[in-house]
Amino acid sequence: MTRSWKVGIVGMGYVGLTLAAAMARRGGYEVHGVDVQPAVVESLSRGEPHIFEPGVGEAFEELVGEKIFVASELPDGALDAVVICVSTPVDGATHEPYLDNLVAAAEHVAERCRPGTLVVVRSTVPVGASRQFVLPPLLQAWGEARLVMAPERTIQGQALRELAELPQVIGGLDQESLELGVDLFSGLARQLVPVSSLEAAELVKLANNCHTDVIYSFGNEIAMLTERLGLDPLEVIRATNLDYPRPDIAKPGYVGGGCLSKDPYLMLSGAERHGYTPQLIKAARTLNENLPVHVARRVVDLMPDGRGGTLTVLGWAYKGWPPTDDMRGTPIAAMMPVFAAAGIRVLGHDPRVRGEVIRAYGGEPVGLAEGFRAADGVLIVTDHPEYRGMDVAAAIAGSRLRFVFDSWRILDADQVTACGVHYAALGFKGPDRSPAPTGGVFA
């Protein structure tokens, strides 16, 4: 980095929040965060982030008022660069992208900043959106624009480390924009990867996340098959991968979060506008979205009389490791309607998710011990370290528990069954105590 930067960040959700903390921790950046939610502005101005991410709270507590400033709008005129980090959700029914936040952010930048300000799109968008939706307001207000796309590619729980360690991809509107973008991020990331255009950078982000979605979907496909064949998916995958010099098959599991549950639809939307439907991406997303409903129906079948009763769900965030409180793309959202239709009372526990959030999704917050004591069945949705470290026998002792559905296979199945409790998992029905079949598996 050849100079100091006074940087605005529009949108203080996960992407903007972590970028602000990372930049403020490094030399050469003064950060001005903007958010439209008064409660977010108020809490961040006190140095209290509203989202959990290791290291972010400490950065805000230490640097707010010194290198981090938060307000409802950008300071007038005096910024060297503005990074747009607003949400780009998709419609729950049509899966079409909602880009009004992106347009509003671009219009705010055009109004508050001066010509010559570098504008960076960091929100994940369909290919072509930076040029189509961000550029026009800037040109209309300024007559010219310096614009880059620099996608965020971090994972929750490791964002501050990955912001420095992951290669930063940068695509520019023109050569001058690209050079400014490289200079801006040179003080943050160890490796910079300039690409030829805004669109190339947009596609990099979508390709990363869609590829991940496809990889996970194949592990889930294997689990759907082993469940019907009476096999153990972990045994099959372990043997498949062992010392075999080809890409590994992923362990089955839920695929959620703000990126993987949304970005395939952004990819599909952009591709379909150019006359192509990516079939593999579409099928992978469908399979991964159906998995929580499939599991919920299996759990209903395990309940007394196939309905009613009390179920304890452990893990309400979309993942347990690295720990997060992020509810975007959480499996429980698709599961709860199935449980409600079956008349099941749902108790909930998550080490990171607040009780009021569990209530908002239809659950009753409980402690871990009470959750085992009061339930007919336990469904483990995430592999949070607290669940991995459980004393299973002690948790089950004195309960009326009928089954444990261990989605991530973090418990010892033998310990569970030794307590007289049925053990099941993704793609795995557990020990079959019925008489052996007389025909083949397809009989």
Q: Can you tell me the distance from the alpha carbon of 201 to that of 194, in angstroms, rounded to the nearest whole number?
A: 9
pLDDT number for residue 1: 58
Among candidates 91, 95, 100, which has minimal Cα distance to 123? 100
pLDDT number for residue 76: 87
Amino acid identity for residue 204 in this structure = V
380-408 confidence digits (pLDDT tens): 999 999 999 999 999 999 999 999 999 99
pLDDT number for residue 78: 87
Which helix (H) or strand (E) segment holds residue 260: the answer is: helix 257-260
Structure tokens at 231: 């096999």
Q: Can you tell me the distance from the alpha carbon of 155 to that of 158, in angstroms, rounded to the nearest whole number?
A: 6
Q: At what angle do helices 263-272 and 279-302 cross, to 10 degrees?
A: 140
pLDDT number for residue 443: 26
pLDDT number for residue 305: 85
* Fold of the domain spanning 230-443: Rossmann fold (3.40.50)
The answer to whether 5-199 and 230-443 have equal CATH topology is: yes
Amino acid identity for residue 249 in this structure = I
Beta strands 168-172 and 146-149, pairing class:
antiparallel
Order of all β-strands in the sheet with 422-424: 364-365, 345-349, 310-314, 377-380, 403-406, 422-424
Among candidates 328, 309, 302, which has minimal Cα distance to 317? 328
Collapsed DSSP state (helix, strand, coil) of residue 99: coil
Residue ranges of the chain whose pLDDT lies below 70: 1-2, 432-443
How many residues are recorded in the chain?
A: 443
* Residue 222: how many other CB atoms lie within 10 Å: 21
pLDDT number for residue 430: 83
Distances (CA, A) of 230 to 158, 410, 430, 436: 37, 20, 9, 12
pLDDT number for residue 2: 63
Tokens 């409660």, residue? 39
The CATH code belonging to domain 5-199 is 3.40.50.720
pLDDT number for residue 435: 35
Give burial (CB, 10 Å; 0-12/13-18/19+) of 406.
buried
pLDDT number for residue 433: 41
Is residue 98 within 8 Å of residue 89, measured between CB atoms?
yes
Domain boundaries, the chain: 5-199, 230-443
Mean pLDDT of the chain: 94
Which helix (H) or strand (E) segment holds residue 37: the answer is: none
pLDDT number for residue 27: 85
Whether this prediction's pTM lies above 0.95 is answered by no
193-233 confidence digits (pLDDT tens): 999 999 999 999 999 999 999 999 999 999 999 999 999 99
Detail the DSSP E strand segments found in 205-355. 310-314, 345-349
